[in-house]
């Protein structure tokens, strides 16, 4: 199947053409990071306006770079939620128009499903499976009994992990987005500072806001007492604390669900070097299971993952009609 995917749930306008869930013929991403940098985070109203300016050009570029005609396309897949409502509407409107003009099936895709199915680009997913979705808007552990069946086992009770990276980077004066900068600094430092451990209720739930405040309090305490610290060691300490929390929960899930065949990661934070090293450790620890991380270029928001998830949804007949609308609170 040849699927064109469209993604606009946050601050990336993206379109991609993917063949048979594996071959990316094109993947165009117009990032708005430089605009939002000035504000230290994504400004929803500004983001939706930029999507409006970019959407047609991005779709056209994806078709041109794939070297195909819309006549060859079997389905149009689009992120219909969750996300920023104004942003989602732009992608959904674009996809509806494309599907209507070319008389193609229109496939709504859940953003989280997209992040999970980014792994299908490099492997055939095996079920039951556990997925860790870690991004600027999500921190979830998801159990998939089968294709397109999602059960949330645990989730963040406050900030998402990517959000915590971005906020910690802001208090450390490192700019936006914080994840890649902290990741780089952490590789040059040592985790020598004590930061607070999370307090959560559910067995598999996360909490990152205490850790984020812990970093701020640590900096203030050092300033008050005239103590010095290094950015590298603070970044390493934060990253270790955040990943300890994540992988404590992951191990609990794997111990509680021995039937699980595969563990996958998705979302922007899956680009993190420390996280990838922890996945390598799990691979050694559980040789009977498969551990997969998405290709680097498909970790942060992109439309190739939406095309892949769209093909699976299309196989199951999950087709929408012209009444499709963005659903910012879509529960998976």
Residues comprising the binding site? 111, 115, 133-137, 166, 179, 183, 272, 301
Binding residues for ligand KG4, how many (CB under 6 A)?
Answer: 19
**Angstrom distance (rounded) from CA 282 to CA 26:** 33
Q: Which is nearer to ligand KG4, 120 or 301 (CB)?
A: 301
**Contact between 135 and ligand KG4 (CB under 6 A)?**
yes
**Strand pairing partners for 155?**
140
Choice from 54, 119, 139, 272 touching ligand KG4 (CB under 6 A) = 272
What is the CB neighbour count within 10 angstroms for residue 314?
20
- For 79-95, give one letter per residue: b (16+ CB within 10 A) or e: bbbbbbbbbbbbbbbbb
**Contact between 292 and ligand KG4 (CB under 6 A)?**
no
**Contact between 82 and ligand KG4 (CB under 6 A)?**
no
Binding mask 136-155 for ligand KG4 (x = CB under 6 A): xx------------------
**Contact between 183 and ligand KG4 (CB under 6 A)?**
yes
Residue 127, judged by CB atoms within 10 A of its CB (0-12, 13-18, 19+), counts as: middle
Q: Which is nearer to ligand KG4, 57 or 175 (CB)?
A: 175
- How many Cα atoms occupy the beta-carbon half-sphere of 218 within 13 Å? 23
**Contact between 324 and ligand KG4 (CB under 6 A)?**
no
At residue 331's C-alpha, the angle toward residues 325 and 332, to 5°, is 105
Among 100, 120, 259, 242, residue whose Cα is nearest residue 183:
242
**Contact between 271 and ligand KG4 (CB under 6 A)?**
yes
Radius of gyration for the chain, computed over Cα atoms and rounded to the nearest angstrom: 20
Q: Can you tell me which residue has the tokens 């955040």?
A: 242
User: What residue numbers does the annotated binding site for substrate cover?
Assistant: 133-137, 166, 179, 183, 272
**Contact between 119 and ligand KG4 (CB under 6 A)?**
no
Q: Which stretch binds ligand KG4 (CB under 6 A): 86-94, 148-156, 161-169, 253-261?
A: 161-169
**Contact between 300 and ligand KG4 (CB under 6 A)?**
yes
**Angstrom distance (rounded) from CA 225 to CA 203:** 38
Q: Which stretch binds ligand KG4 (CB under 6 A): 90-98, 147-155, 174-182, 305-313?
A: 174-182
Choice from 81, 154, 179, 198 touching ligand KG4 (CB under 6 A) = 179
The whole-angstrom distance between residue 241's C-alpha and the CA centroid of its chain comes to: 20
> What does the DSSP 8-state code read for residue 18?
E
Q: Can you tell me which residue has the tokens 């779709």?
A: 59
The whole-angstrom distance between residue 248's C-alpha and the CA centroid of its chain comes to: 20
Q: How far is the CB of 275 from ligand KG4 (least distance, A)?
A: 7
**Contact between 189 and ligand KG4 (CB under 6 A)?**
no
**Contact between 269 and ligand KG4 (CB under 6 A)?**
yes
**Contact between 180 and ligand KG4 (CB under 6 A)?**
yes
Q: Which is nearer to ligand KG4, 180 or 328 (CB)?
A: 180
Cα torsion through 185, 190, 192, 196, rounded to 10: 50
Choice from 108, 114, 189, 267 touching ligand KG4 (CB under 6 A) = 267
> Please, which residues have CB within 8 angstroms of residue 255's CB and are 6 or more apart in sequence?
none
305: its two tokens: 């993952």
Footprint of ligand KG4 on 241-260 (CB under 6 A): none
**Contact between 301 and ligand KG4 (CB under 6 A)?**
yes
- Interacting residue ranges for ligand KG4, rule: CB under 6 A: 10, 135-137, 162, 165-166, 177-180, 183, 267-269, 271-272, 300-301
């Amino acid at each position: 199947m040849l699927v064109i995917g469209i993604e606009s749930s946050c601050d990336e306008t993206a379109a991609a053409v993917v063949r048979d869930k594996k071959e990316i013929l094109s993947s165009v991403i117009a990032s708005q990071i430089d605009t939002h940098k000035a504000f230290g985070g994504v400004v929803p109203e500004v983001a939706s306006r930029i999507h409006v300016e970019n959407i047609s050009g991005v779709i056209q570029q994806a078709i041109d770079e794939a070297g195909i005609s819309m006549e060859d396309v079997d389905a149009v897949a689009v992120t219909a939620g969750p996300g920023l409502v104004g942003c989602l509407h732009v992608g959904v409107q674009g996809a509806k128009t494309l599907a209507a003009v070319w008389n193609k099936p229109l496939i709504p895709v859940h953003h989280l499903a997209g992040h999970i199915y980014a792994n299908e680009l490099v492997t055939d997913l095996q079920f039951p499976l556990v997925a860790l979705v870690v991004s600027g808007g999500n921190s979830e552990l998801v159990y998939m009994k089968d294709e397109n069946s999602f059960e949330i086992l645990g989730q963040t009770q406050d900030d998402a992990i990517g959000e915590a990276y971005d906020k910690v980077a802001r208090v450390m004066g490192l700019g936006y987005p914080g994840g890649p900068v902290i990741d780089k600094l952490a590789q040059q430092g040592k985790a020598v500072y004590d930061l607070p451990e999370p307090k959560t209720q559910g067995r598999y739930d996360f909490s990152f806001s205490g850790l984020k405040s812990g970093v701020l309090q640590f900096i203030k305490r050092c300033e008050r007492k005239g103590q010095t610290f290094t950015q590298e060691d603070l970044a390493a300490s934060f990253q270790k604390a955040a990943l300890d929390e994540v992988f404590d929960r992951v191990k609990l899930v794997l111990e509680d669900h021995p039937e699980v065949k595969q563990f996958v990661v998705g979302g922007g934070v899956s680009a993190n070097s420390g996280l990838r090293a922890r996945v390598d450790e799990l691979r050694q620890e559980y040789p009977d299971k498969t551990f997969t991380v998405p290709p680097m270029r498909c970790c942060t928001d992109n439309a190739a993952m939406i095309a892949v998830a769209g093909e699976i949804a299309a196989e199951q007949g999950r087709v929408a009609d012209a009444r499709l609308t963005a659903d910012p609170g879509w529960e998976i």
